[in-house]
């Protein structure tokens, strides 16, 4: 009987190893361990054994039974693992296929640049003001120290609506309008972004473009403060390593006046095509607000001073993104818009 | 303004090269836009002395010259013999390169060897006035001198980009003052004394100024016995460097001195001035003047003219007259050096379309104190170059003399404004470097500003001089001190930002289009003749009719943007623009129009991104409506509604007006087929235009958080068949009105017409979520409520319930 049990064990373990589907293990279990299975049969035939042999064979039978059921359980687990793996294999995806892109839109690159400029100046304690795009001659010129027939009017050929009404040629009128409202209170720190218009149309000029005007009026604002403000701005806009350079210039509404250059963002000041080999890019006009402008706006120029600056948004966007034709901004070509 | 580096050195003792000078000028406010070599590209060409000229033995039209080039005697074949033995001529030696890259080689011409080429002015790239043929030099140079040196072509031209306030630098003397101030180089302005012939000039000419406000000074000198001929090469060359074409010695001198002194001059043929009387007055309307360019000019009272008793002889400050022009017959020259009022000159030159170097200078304002110096300088040069004699004395009418201006300067004020710790002594030195006299008194520095610097009239102008001469680059960088200010956006600015963010998150791209449009866009949009949008602000001087009027709608521009993209084979288009429209005020044309912020959206093509795994559908009316609904909701506006409307630009059955509390907010729908074809578009485009100012008015951004529900919800579906003329909005409203607050959610999940539904009817299927915030609703409560909803719909709309 010992041999029979050994034989059962050997056959069972062989069969178990050969099974490939977990379903079939059920049959093996019934065949060997079931109520009518082979082990049961051995146990039932133990009546013919001696008293001494009975517990030995009984133990052995139980042992074999135990071993077979462990083998079955192990094989079951083994097969289950394999089947899951097969299932997973069936479910495998080509992860290199392109994904389904979320539906997406974007602001215009000029808006992105203006947002960034606003963000920088908001952080420096400036507030945002706006004014009309169609302006009176007074706000666009007279109050800014540009009387009729002033040669400076040559600098900006304007679109007129009537003798006294003009499409604003710069955002500077907002300076006057804001100061008029607030004077004689100080401090005043304002930026004014918006559309402006000049009679020009080529790859570097558009009849409509955007400017951001900025100005500050307080008890003791100096040219040094203007330099500091612009340096801080330029470094946040274009990078920490950036240098700026102020060159004396002329605007009727500021004095002293300056053209502001930044070190070329393309070549880092080494000299390239974009900066005309000079290493510098002109990006801003600025200066100390002219005493007469402070005066007409209701400030006493003996008591307060101020600085003002104005920058072309398209110019900055072109440098920042590497555009070479300004007119592209207004094409609304989705191949352009979708790059941002 | 073109400045010759060599010429400038006549007046200032410069120790630096042109590049360094350019940098210094730029950094002190006189921008040098370019520095270029004046050498037109000549190498290996020298001054040669002609030893002999003979006819070519084999060719009638060729000549053979023996020329001493310093290093050797060369035989050169020439095509002309306008020179003779002893003349100095330019010889391009074999290996030389002439302008245009023309290379000179040793060659044989009809059997005779030619070791180089004798050059004409044209071959040297110079537009000089001289006899036809080889350029015979008019001065002595050592044989073998490089022609570039001999003709002073080794010069550099600085192109100044002058700001309008610095017209003083439109003359080399002014530039020299500036250079001296910024570099410390000594000035050497010293015009030579010259002999004159004794004669009473007042007997020779009488000058009368009628309009003194337009001509503050008129000075004149006379040069007799002149011979009009080409100027010497040195002078011609300098004019070329200034960008001026040489003509003859008399005209050239007026231009030369203008360039030198920034004083425009005019030379009259004295003998052709009637009665030797000059009267400066306004032109009479309809008077005619034949100007130097042989154009008949019709004058009017706004123009100032120089006249003699017979009528106008010159357009003051702009152009001379043909009748008194300097010709080869001219024997006596009257030199005019005057000061005219800038605005008049500016208007005249603009109205006649005549801009000259002279008008440019007068427009910017000239120094009335400089007329006599310039007239005398010109007289001296003319006499010298034309073998003439200067008549003693000057005729000088100067009804409104100007004097030096004394500007008091508070040095502390200067230090404050600049933010610079500069000493009194340094300030004084800067003023003196500018050749401004200073005087200390009462704690102020009194600075005497000469009239040539008419841009300086008040203290702040001096502050600027200090800052720029000191150098902006040396000013310390600081930040404003004082009270901290808070940077923040206004409610409107926040809402604009939010609006753009929302639309972008819905998948739209932002467009920016021009504020001006062609008026015919209103026809293309098929707006009726009396449509208020046709009432526009017109641009008086547009670049073209395409930009003729200020827009009162954004729709046309966005449809153009659709077309622009379609033309580039981009068909899935979703754009928005947030910008102003301009509505005229009814009153006069001198009031500002109303600028109203407006939002427009266009959709076309497919909605979604197509790839291997998803096939998006075509956009439709409801895609656009959904965007607008969510947009309005997210702006915190609840009481909005969409109702059918007729609008000429939209499909008659597919347009809706959007309103809030009875106020019109905008319009949306499918663009009318006819409008589509007028914009050359195919397929379907959906568009909306919304008055953003009303959004700003009603927007409510504060969110009141509702606590999450504690009690379970009950879900019921309901399908009703109603006449299709009953709008879904009415049914929705009725359900809400009937069930009240217990309706938590109401979704229209199906709209069906077709089988089983009689024609003229449709089935609307809703799912309703009922929930109380106070308790758990019992089945009975929900059923009763739902039944009430059903009963109401049946009663109100004769609805049939679908099971």
Q: How far is CA B792 from the centre of its chain?
A: 70
A21/A121 same-domain check: no
Closest-approach residue (CA) in chain A for B515: A208
Q: Are residues A36 and A152 in the same domain?
A: no
Whether A251 and A281 map to the same domain: the answer is yes
Retrieve residue B345's tokens: 């000159």
User: Which residue of chain B comes nearest to A333, CA vs CA?
Assistant: B565
Contact between residue B656 and residue B625 where contact means Cβ atoms under 8 Å apart: yes
- CA–CA dist A262, A268 (Å, integer): 10
Task: Among A65, A91, A117, identify where a domain stops.
Answer: A91
What is the number of alpha carbons within 13 Å of residue A244 lying toward its C-beta? Answer: 28
Is A220's CB within 8 Å of B507's CB?
no
Provide the percentage of residues in chain B whose pLDDT is more than 70. Answer: 100
Say if CB B375 and CB B179 are below 8 A apart.
no
Comparing CB atoms, the residue among A98, A105, A258 nearest residue B574 is A105
Omega of the bond leading into A256 within 30 degrees of 0 (cis): yes
Whether A57 and A137 share a structural domain:
no
Give the residue among B419, B471, B479 at the shortest CA–CA distance from A235. Answer: B479
What's the CATH number where B533 sits?
A: 3.30.930.10
Mark whether B132 and B208 lie in a shared domain. Answer: no
Whether A236 and A229 have beta carbons less than 8 Å apart is answered as no
Round to whole Å and give the CA distance between A296 and B559. Answer: 44
Confidence bin at B591 (pLDDT 50/70/90): confident
Residue after which a domain boundary falls, among B474, B506, B521: B474
Instruction: Kindly report the three-state secondary structure assignment for every residue of B646-686.
Output: CCCCEEEEEEEEEEECCEEEEEEEEECHHHHHHCCCCCCEE
**Is the pLDDT higher at B651 or at B128?**
B651
Q: In angstroms, rounded to a whole number, what is the distance separating the alpha carbons of residues B547 and B539?
A: 8
* Residue A247, in any domain of the structure: yes
Chain A contact for B193, CB < 8 A? Answer: no
Q: Are residues B364 and B291 in the same domain?
A: yes
| Pairing outcome for strands B437-441 and B509-510 | unpaired
| B181 touches B469 (CB < 8 A) | yes
| CB-based contact, A28 to chain B, within 8 Å | no
- Chain B residue numbers touching A219 (CB-CB < 8 A): 482
CA distances, B407 to each of B368, B453, B462, B463 (Å): 19, 12, 8, 11
Q: Is residue B624 packed enough to be buried (19+ CB in 10 Å), middle (13-18) or exposed (0-12)?
A: buried
Shared-domain flag, residues A70 and A121:
no
Q: Are residues B299 and B358 in the same domain?
A: yes
Peptide bond into B14 cis (omega under 30): no
Asked whether the beta carbons of residue B342 and residue A221 sit closer than 8 angstroms, the reply is no
What is the domain count for chain B?
Answer: 6
Nearest by CB to residue B417, choosing from A136, A288, A337, is: A288
pLDDT of residue A283: 92
Tens-place pLDDT, residues B321-362 = 999 999 999 999 999 999 999 999 999 998 899 999 999 999
Task: Mark whether A27 and A138 lie in a shared domain.
Answer: no
Residues A120 and A208 in one domain: yes
Find out whether B157 and B2 touch, Cβ atoms under 8 Å: yes
Mean pLDDT, chain B, integer: 94
Closest C-alpha to B635, from B745, B493, B502: B502
Q: Is the same domain home to A181 and A210? A: yes
Q: Which of A91, A123, A153 is the last residue of a domain?
A: A91
Radius of gyration for chain B, computed over Cα atoms and rounded to the nearest angstrom: 42
Residues B539 and B678 in one domain: yes
Q: Cβ contacts (< 8 Å) between B561 and chain A: which residues?
A: 331-332
Look at phi and psi of residue B225 and say left if phi exceeds 0, alpha if psi is from -120 to 50, else beta: left
Q: Is the dihedral of CA B162, B165, B171, B174 positive or negative?
A: negative
From chain A residues 68-87, the ones with a CB under 8 A of any chain B CB are none
* DSSP codes of every residue in A158-212: --BSSSSEEE-SSSTHHHHHHHHHHTT---EEEEEEEEEE-S--BTTB-SEEEEE
Q: Percent helix, strand, coil in chain B (nearest 5)?
A: 30, 30, 40
Claim to verify: residue B549 and residue B640 sit in the same structural domain: yes
pTM of the model: 0.86
Q: CB pairs below 8 Å between A and B: how many?
A: 252
pLDDT on residue A151: 65
Domain that holds residue B69: 43-150
Question: Alpha-carbon distance B234 to B381, whole Å?
Answer: 13
Residue B130 phi/psi, 5-degree rounding, is -160, 175
Query: Which residues of A are less than 8 Å from B364 in CB distance?
Result: 151
Contacts B456 to A, Cβ<8 Å: none
Give me the domain span that covers residue A113. Answer: 109-337
Token pair in block for residue B735: 């359900």
- Cα–Cα distance between A311 and A171 in angstroms, integer? 9
Looking at residue A155, its pLDDT comes to 55
> Does B302 reach chain A within 8 Å, measured CB to CB?
no
pLDDT in tens, B467-478: 999 999 999 999
Binding-face residues of A in 187-206 toward B, CB within 8 A: 187, 189, 195, 197, 199, 201
Q: What CATH number should be reported for the domain holding residue A295?
A: 3.30.930.10
DSSP state string for B327-343:
-TT---EEEEEEEE-HH
> Distance (Å, rounded) from C-alpha A311 to C-alpha A214?
9
Tell me what the mean pLDDT of segment B674-698 comes to.
Answer: 96
pLDDT tens column, A289-334? 999 999 999 999 999 999 999 999 999 999 999 888 888 999 999 9
| A133 vs B342, B573, B595: nearest CB | B595
- Closest-CA distance, A103 to chain B, in angstroms, reads 5
Contact at CB, B467 and A103, closer than 8 angstroms: no
H/E run at residue A6: helix A2-18
Q: Cα–Cα distance between B169 and B11 in angstroms, integer?
A: 13
Kindly state whether residues B240 and B374 are assigned to the same domain.
yes
Q: What does each of the 340 residues of chain A score in pLDDT, given as a tens digit?
A: 788 888 888 998 898 888 888 888 888 888 888 888 888 888 888 888 888 888 888 888 888 889 998 999 999 898 888 889 989 999 999 999 999 888 889 999 999 999 999 999 999 999 999 999 999 999 999 999 998 877 667 655 899 998 889 999 999 999 999 999 998 999 999 999 999 999 988 878 899 999 999 999 999 999 999 999 999 999 999 999 899 999 999 999 999 999 999 999 888 888 888 888 889 999 999 999 999 999 999 999 999 999 999 999 999 999 999 888 888 999 999 999 999 9
Residues above pLDDT 90, as percent of chain B: 89
* DSSP 3-state of B131: coil
Do residues A45 and A120 share a domain?
Answer: no
Residue from B485, B594, B607 whose CB has the most chain A CBs within 10 Å, to mutate: B485
- Stretch 570-599 of chain B: residues touching chain A, C-beta under 8 Å: 570, 573-575, 579-580, 582, 589-590, 592-593, 595
Assess whether A78 and A150 both reside in one domain: no
A169-207 exposure pattern, b = at least 16 Cβ within 10 A, e = fewer:
bbbbbbbbbbbeebbeebbbbbbbbbbbbbbeeeeeebb
How many Å apart are CA B594 and CA B584, to the nearest integer? 6
The answer for B335, left when phi > 0, alpha when psi is -120 to 50, beta otherwise, is beta
- Token pair for B698: 């009603």
User: Residues B391, B201: contact at Cβ < 8 Å?
Assistant: yes
Alpha-carbon distances, residue B738 vs B552, B638, B784 (angstroms): 43, 19, 12
Residue B763: closest CA among B799, B716, B715: B799
Distances, alpha carbon A94 to alpha carbons A98, B610, B615, in Å: 9, 19, 19
The owner of tokens 């059903």 is: B790
Is B709 domain-assigned? no
The per-residue pLDDT for range B223-279, each reduced to its tens digit, is: 999 999 999 999 999 999 999 999 999 999 999 999 999 999 999 999 999 999 999
Q: Look at residue A96 and tell me if it is in a domain.
A: no
Nearest to A247 among B26, B561, B575 (CB): B26
Instruction: Report the C-alpha gap between A226 and A306 in whole angstroms.
Output: 9
Q: Determine, for residues B512 and A329 on separate chains, whether the beta-carbon distance falls below 8 Å.
A: yes
Is the residue at A103 inside a domain? no
Q: Residue A308's pLDDT is what?
A: 97
Distances (CA, A) of A188 to A130, A175, B93, B737: 14, 10, 71, 53
Quote helix, strand, coil % in chain A, to nearest 5: 45, 20, 35
Q: How many domains does chain A have?
A: 2
pLDDT score of A152: 64
């Amino acid at each position: 009987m010992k041999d029979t049990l050994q034989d059962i064990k050997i056959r069972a373990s062989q069969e178990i190893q050969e099974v490939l589907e977990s379903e079939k293990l059920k049959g093996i279990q019934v065949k060997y361990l079931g109520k009518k299975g082979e082990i049961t049969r051995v146990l039932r035939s133990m009546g013919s054994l001696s008293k001494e042999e009975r517990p030995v064979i009984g133990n052995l039978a139980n042992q074999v039974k135990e071993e077979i059921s462990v083998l079955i359980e192990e094989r079951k687990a083994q097969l289950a693992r394999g089947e899951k793996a097969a299932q997973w294999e069936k479910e495998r995806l080509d992860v290199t296929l392109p994904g389904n892109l979320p539906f997406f839109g974007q602001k215009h690159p000029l808006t992105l640049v203006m947002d960034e400029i606003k963000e920088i100046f908001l952080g420096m304690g400036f507030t945002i003001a706006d004014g009309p795009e169609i302006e009176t001659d007074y706000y666009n010129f007279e109050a800014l120290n540009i009387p009729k027939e002033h040669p400076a009017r040559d600098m900006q050929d304007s679109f007129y609506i009537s003798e006294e009404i003009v499409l604003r040629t710069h955002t500077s009128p907002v300076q006057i309008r804001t100061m008029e409202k607030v004077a004689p209170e100080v401090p005043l720190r304002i930026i004014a972004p918006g559309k402006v218009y000049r009679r020009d149309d080529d790859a570097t000029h558009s009849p409509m473009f955007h400017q951001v005007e900025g100005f500050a009026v307080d008890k003791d604002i100096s040219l040094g403060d203007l330099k500091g403000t612009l340096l801080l701005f330029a470094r946040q806009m274009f990078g920490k390593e950036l240098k700026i350079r102020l060159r004396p210039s002329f605007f009727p509404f500021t004095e002293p006046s300056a053209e502001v250059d930044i070190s070329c963002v393309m070549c880092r000041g080494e000299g390239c095509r974009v900066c005309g080999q000079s290493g510098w890019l002109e990006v801003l006009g600025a200066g100390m607000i002219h005493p007469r402008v402070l005066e007409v706006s209701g400030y006493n120029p003996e008591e307060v001073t101020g600085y003002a600056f104005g920058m072309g948004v398209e110019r900055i966007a072109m440098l920042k993104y590497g555009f070479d034709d300004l007119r592209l901004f207004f094409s609304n070509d989705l191949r352009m818009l979708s790059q941002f | 303004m073109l400045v010759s580096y060599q010429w400038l050195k006549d007046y200032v003792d410069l120790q630096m090269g042109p590049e360094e000078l350019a940098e210094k000028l730029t950094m002190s406010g006189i921008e040098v836009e370019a520095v270029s070599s004046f050498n037109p590209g000549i190498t290996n060409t020298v001054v040669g002395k002609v030893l002999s000229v003979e006819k070519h033995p084999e060719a009638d039209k060729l000549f053979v010259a023996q020329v001493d080039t310093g290093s050797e005697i060369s035989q050169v074949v020439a095509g002309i013999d306008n020179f003779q033995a002893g003349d100095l001529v330019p010889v391009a030696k074999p290996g030389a390169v002439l302008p245009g890259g023309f290379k000179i080689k040793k060659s044989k011409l009809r059997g005779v060897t030619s070791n180089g080429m004798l050059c004409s002015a044209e071959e040297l790239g110079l537009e000089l006035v001289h006899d036809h043929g080889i350029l015979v030099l008019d001065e002595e140079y050592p044989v073998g001198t490089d022609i570039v040196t001999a003709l002073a072509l080794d010069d550099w031209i600085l192109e100044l980009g002058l700001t309008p306030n610095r017209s003083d630098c439109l003359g080399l003397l002014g530039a020299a003052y500036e250079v001296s101030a910024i570099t410390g180089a000594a000035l050497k302005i010293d015009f030579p004394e010259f002999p004159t012939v004794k004669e009473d000039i007042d007997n020779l000419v009488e000058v009368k100024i009628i309009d003194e406000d337009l001509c503050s000074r008129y000075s004149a000198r006379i040069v007799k016995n002149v011979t009009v001929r080409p100027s010497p090469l040195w002078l011609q060359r300098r004019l070329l460097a200034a960008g001026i074409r040489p003509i003859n010695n008399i005209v050239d001198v007026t231009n030369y001195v203008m360039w030198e002194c920034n004083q425009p001059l005019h030379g009259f043929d004295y003998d052709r001035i009637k009665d030797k009387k000059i009267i400066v007055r306004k032109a009479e309307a309809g008077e005619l003047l034949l100007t130097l360019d042989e154009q008949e000019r019709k004058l009017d009272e706004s123009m100032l003219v120089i006249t003699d008793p017979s009528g106008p002889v010159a357009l003051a400050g702009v152009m001379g007259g043909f009748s008194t022009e300097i010709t080869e017959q001219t024997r006596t020259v009257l030199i005019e050096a005057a000061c005219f009022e800038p605005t008049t000159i500016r208007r005249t030159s603009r109205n006649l379309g005549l801009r000259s170097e002279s008008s440019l200078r007068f427009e910017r304002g000239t120094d009335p104190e400089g007329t006599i110096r310039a007239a005398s300088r010109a007289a001296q040069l003319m006499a010298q170059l034309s073998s003439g004699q200067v008549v003693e004395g000057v005729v000088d009418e100067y009804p409104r003399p100007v004097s030096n201006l004394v500007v008091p300067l508070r040095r502390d004020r200067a230090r404050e404004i600049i933010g610079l710790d500069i000493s009194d002594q340094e300030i004084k030195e800067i003023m003196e470097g500018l050749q401004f006299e200073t005087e200390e008194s009462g704690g102020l520095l009194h600075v005497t500003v000469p009239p040539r610097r008419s841009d300086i009239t008040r203290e702040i102008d001096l502050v600027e001089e200090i800052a720029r001469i000191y150098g902006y680059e040396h000013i310390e960088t600081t930040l404003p001190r004082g009270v901290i200010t808070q940077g923040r956006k206004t409610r409107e600015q926040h809402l604009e930002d939010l609006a753009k963010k929302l639309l972008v998150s819905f998948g739209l791209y932002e467009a920016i289009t021009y504020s001006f449009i062609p008026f015919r866009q209103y026809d293309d949009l098929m707006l009726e003749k009396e449509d208020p949008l046709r009432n526009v602000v017109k641009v008086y001087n547009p670049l073209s009719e395409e930009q003729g009027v200020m827009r009162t709608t954004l729709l046309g521009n966005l449809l153009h943007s659709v077309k622009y993209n379609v033309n580039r084979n981009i068909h899935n288009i979703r754009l928005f623009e947030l910008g102003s429209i301009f509505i005229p005020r009814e009153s006069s044309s001198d009031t500002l129009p109303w600028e109203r912020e407006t939002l427009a959206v266009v959709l076309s093509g497919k909605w979604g991104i197509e790839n291997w795994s998803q096939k998006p559908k075509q956009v439709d009316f409801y895609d656009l409506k959904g965007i607008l609904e969510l947009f309005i909701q997210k702006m915190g506006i609840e009481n909005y509604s969409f109702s059918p409307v007729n609008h000429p630009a939209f499909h008659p059955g597919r347009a809706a007006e959007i309103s809030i509390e009875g106020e019109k907010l905008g319009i949306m729908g499918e663009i009318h087929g006819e409008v589509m074809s007028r914009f050359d578009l195919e397929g379907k485009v959906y568009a909306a235009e919304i008055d953003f100012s009303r959004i700003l008015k009603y927007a409510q951004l504060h969110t009141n958080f509702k606590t999450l529900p504690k009690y379970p919800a009950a879900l019921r579906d309901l399908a009703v068949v109603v006449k299709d003329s009953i709008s879904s909005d009415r049914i929705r409203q009725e359900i809400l009105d009937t069930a009240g607050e217990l309706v938590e959610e109401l979704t229209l999940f199906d709209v069906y017409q077709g089988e089983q539904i009689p024609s003229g009817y449709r089935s609307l299927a809703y799912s309703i979520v009922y929930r109380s915030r106070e308790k758990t609703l019992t089945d009975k409560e929900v059923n009763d409520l739902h039944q009430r909803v059903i009963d109401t719909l049946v009663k109100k709309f004769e609805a049939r319930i679908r099971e």
